[in-house]
A and B are shown apart, each in its own frame.
Chain A
Amino acid sequence: VSAADPVTRADRLERLHGRRSRTHGIIPDGVARTSANVCEAAGCLSLGSDAVVDALTQLVSERGLADVAVRRVGCLGLCARGPLVEIPEHGRLFEAASSPQTIAAIADSLSQTEATPDQQQPFFSRQTKVVLENSGRIDPESIDDYVARDGYAALTKALTTMTPGDVIDEVVRSGLRGRGGAGYPTGLKWSTVAKAVPARNGGGEPKYVVCNADEGDPGAFMDRTVLESDPQRVLEGMALAGYAVGARRGFIYVRAEYPLAIRRLRSAIGQAERAGYLGAGIIESPFEFHLEIRVGAGAFVCGEETALIASIEGKRGTPRPRPPYPAVSGLWQHPTLINNVETYASIAPIIRNGGAWYAGIGRAPSTGTKVFALAGRVVNSGVVEVPLGMSLRDIVFEIGGGILDGGTFKAVQTGGPSGGCIPADHLDMPVDYESLAAVGSIMGSGGMIVMDQTSCMVDVAKYFMAFCRDESCGKCVPCRVGTVQMHLLLERICRGDANRGDLDRLENLAAMVTDTSLCGLGHSAPNPVFSTLRFFRDEYLAHIDDRTCPAGVCTMSPGATS
């Protein structure tokens, strides 16, 4: 699909490329014959990829290699084996590239005119990249790179050839559902906000667009990857949303624990404003859209949309009852569209290629792709994007490469503290919103923690309950008190001091907290307990009746059981 107005677009591209490229090679990117793409996302950075860039740049200039560029790019996916370096022209990926030998090998490879590609690993060949199409391909701090790969083509198309209603229709047609975890149809949410009547009282903007980048689930780093690897994509999605619902201002609420993502977002917003993709009169149209960053401050509950709104308003991040939903009354009581990072990141390809194209991926009613953060006791730990409906077995064993150290698969935990543990019996189930709910878990934002025989499921339930206890905002009693009591009961079970009555109490309390809590945090806090009780009740009983921990994790108290 071509951009709507070739003249405007060509002008803009020319203007953009007049600026200095950030490419670290001797010659600009477009001229380079081969390039070494060094991953500079958080995982690889922590394993020393900055030093790899320096060493490689030095070696390239020492050897006088012409036509070669050393570039900093976003996440290459296979985070556990970093720092990663890819030579895309040769189809080669170098793992653990911090050793001098590997750096020399990369330089050797760069000096060849062609090379035999590595055998394609299932980790890469089984993935379908939509949200991550640019991840590891572009410099995340260069809008030129983004524009060169069809960046802002969707916004140009929308502003020049589509009405706001057309944009919403495409999103509806795509079948996209909220990637934050609940799976609410995105098109429906957009049309609700578009139809909402702006509040009359008070000044300010009539409507707002908010991006929820408060990725709080422990074990989830998909949104971080998107923000660190391709921040412009999120901005474009938000600008399209602003156009569609009639908002001129937006906020990105990002957690303080992601300093690199914040830095790259700031840089991206500045570049987009200078290039005329944000601000007033975007692409010579009357549409204006201004974006600001708001940094979270370590409160998990702020991932809940009403708490997030309170936090942006500068208040304690406590939720309020819904309805009214933010789509009707959100930021400063104005209609507010709130979507997750990955949802916005999916919008540009949908507008570019059409909703029908997106709906053709995945398995209705869960269309499209989903990014998962694969971690825990799995070989290929990293970020993966697959069509919805792929089996759990394919994700864990084909793409994930199976269990670390030859261990035995026990469960995969999805949905973080709001989700559940799925046992081996269900490995062949398709991963989509409905199937996950049917086994007592949720899609969640996309964290997948693989566990082997070394994990005790009661201990895992206790871990998540401790998390919810710490993160409960304290506004409603069932969550504030219930999580404390459930955690005490789980501790007792782990110590071997519990009896069958305690197990009943735990189950009753869990049901009560689910039914009576104010927001999603409390409502879903008992989920890890429910799902481990459903699939691993024998482990609970072993702790209670036999005072043993089958996984050997829990230490029993010395006293005799009552």
Chain B
Amino acid sequence: MHAVPWRAGEDDVEVAVTADAPEHDDRRWRVVDARMRRLGYRPDALVEALHSVQDAYGYLAPESLGQVARALHLPPSRVFGVATFYSYFTLAPPGAHTCVVCMGTACYINGASKLLDKITARLGAGAGETTADGQVSVLVAHCVGACSVAPVVVIDGAVHGKSTPDSVLAAVDENGNLP
């Protein structure tokens, strides 16, 4: 066991504990643990484990990172380094709904940046931000690969092709509440 380095990490975690920190003995954690077990708790299971955590909890809380580090016998620095390297992983809880504006080449030359400007202006949250009421997170993707129906916006996982500011805001309104 990596007792000494791990204790240092655990102290850091203490500071970061918040009221809505996820419980790690809950059912969601069992899914993560099952995934790691299938991969033999080997170090190369790290990226897959982080995917499982994000699928289960919506984001990577410091407690989850600590838990993964302990399970895979990895130093917390390695886990944190990997979690922050990949843009798909998020360390902050996302809004209740996500609105991902694609900025691939085809979307870009079909006016995606103007689309993004209008959406962020209406929602009052910039790219990478969440509205003040925590309802909608606005994100930017580099290409979701649906270039034929550009510009593309992915709302709560559903791909919306040939988007306009109005169509996007209507879809967001249907799912969440427009501020």
Chain A contact residues, CB within 8 Å of chain B? 42-43, 45-47, 79-80, 82, 215-221, 224, 256-259, 294-300, 311-318, 373, 375-377, 381-383, 413, 416, 447, 449, 451, 454-455, 460, 463-464, 467, 470-471, 473
Contacts and interface: CB of A to CB of B under 8 A. Distances in A.
Given A43-B161, A294-B48, A375 B148 contact: yes
A257 B106 contact: no
Interface in B144-179: 144-150, 152, 157-162
A220 B104 CA distance: 9
A375 B147 CA distance: 6
A297 B50 contact: yes
A42 B159 contact: yes
B105 A376 contact: yes
B45 A82 contact: no
B87 interface: yes
A297 B109 contact: no
A45 B159 contact: yes
Interface residues of B, number: 41
A312 B48 CA distance: 9
A219 B149 contact: no
Nearest to A42: B146
Interface string B105-135: 1101110000000000000000000000000
Best-surrounded residue of A215, A216, A383, A447 (most CB of chain B within 10 A): A447
Nearest to A45: B159
23 contacts: A42-B145, A43-B146, A46-B159, A46-B161, A79-B146, A79-B148, A218-B106, A221-B148, A257-B144, A257-B145, A258-B145, A296-B86, A297-B50, A297-B51, A298-B89, A312-B44, A313-B44, A314-B48, A316-B81, A317-B85, A375-B105, A460-B109, A467-B142
B109 A449 contact: yes
Contacts of A43: 146, 148-149, 161
B113 to A, nearest CB: 9
B105 A218 contact: yes
Given A218-B143, A416-B105, 15 more contacts: A46-B149, A46-B161, A47-B161, A216-B143, A224-B145, A258-B145, A295-B48, A298-B142, A315-B82, A317-B85, A318-B85, A375-B105, A376-B109, A449-B147, A454-B109
Contacts of A470: 142
Q: Of B42, B46, B51, B149, which is in contact with the most chain A CB atoms at under 10 Å from its CB?
A: B149
A473 B158 CA distance: 29
Contacts of B17: none
A43 B150 CA distance: 10
B145 A215 contact: yes
Contact of B147 (A216, A256, A298, A373): A373
A218 B142 contact: yes
Contacts of B86: 296-299, 317
Interface in B79-101: 81-82, 85-89
A340 to B, nearest CB: 15
Contacts of B34: none
B148 A381 contact: yes
Interface in B13-50: 42-48, 50
Given A46-B152, A47-B161, A297 B143 contact: no
Contacts of A218: 103-106, 108, 142-143
A297 B88 contact: yes
Contacts of B110: 376-377
Contacts of B147: 219-221, 373, 375-376, 381, 447, 449
Can you list the 10 inter-chain pairs with the closest CB atoms, starting with the nearest?
A79-B148, A298-B88, A297-B86, A219-B105, A314-B46, A46-B159, A375-B147, A218-B143, A218-B104, A314-B44
Contacts of B88: 256-257, 296-299
B47 A294 contact: yes
Given A47-B161, A375-B150, A455 B109 contact: yes
Contacts of A311: 47
A256 B86 CA distance: 11
Contact of B142 (A79, A300, A316, A373): A300
B87 A80 contact: no
Contacts of B82: 314-316
Nearest to B106: A375
A317 B108 CA distance: 26
A300 B146 CA distance: 17
Contacts of B158: 46
Nearest to B50: A297
A80 B149 contact: yes
A295 B82 CA distance: 14
Contacts of B45: 314
A539 B162 CA distance: 30
A42 B81 CA distance: 33
B68 to A, nearest CB: 11
A455 B142 CA distance: 19
A120 B89 CA distance: 46
A361 B147 CA distance: 28
A464 B78 CA distance: 31
Nearest to B145: A221
